[in-house]
């Protein structure tokens, strides 16, 4: 039986920011977050590690 009680720490839930889908992509090669417009200008190649993202036939 404990004399003192351990205080319960209450953690407040942080609200996640609403980021629109398709605005950023994470590189599979180096785990950097890249802006979609920068990827399109770079022909879907990561500027950090030269990883080539898959392209559709229309691209």
| Predicted local confidence at residue 1, as pLDDT | 62
Query: Residue 59 — pLDDT band, cuts 50, 70, 90?
Result: confident
**pLDDT given at position 39:** 92
Q: What is the pTM of this model?
A: 0.60
Taking only the tens place, the pLDDT of each residue in 2-50 is 788 888 888 877 777 777 788 899 999 999 999 999 999 999 999 999 9
Domain ranges across the chain:
22-59
Kindly give, in sequence order, each residue whose CB lies less than 8 Å from that of residue 24, ignoring residues fewer than 6 positions away: 33, 34, 35, 36
The pLDDT score that the predictor gives to residue 37 is 93
pLDDT of residue 43: 93
Question: For residue 13, what are the CA distances in angstroms to 20, 51, 58?
Answer: 21, 36, 42
């Amino acid at each position: 039986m404990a004399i003192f009680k351990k205080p319960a720490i209450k953690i407040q839930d942080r609200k996640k920011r609403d980021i629109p889908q398709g605005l950023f992509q994470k590189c599979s090669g180096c785990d950097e977050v890249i802006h979609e417009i920068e990827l399109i200008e770079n022909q879907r190649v990561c500027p950090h590690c030269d990883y080539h993202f898959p392209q559709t036939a229309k691209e």
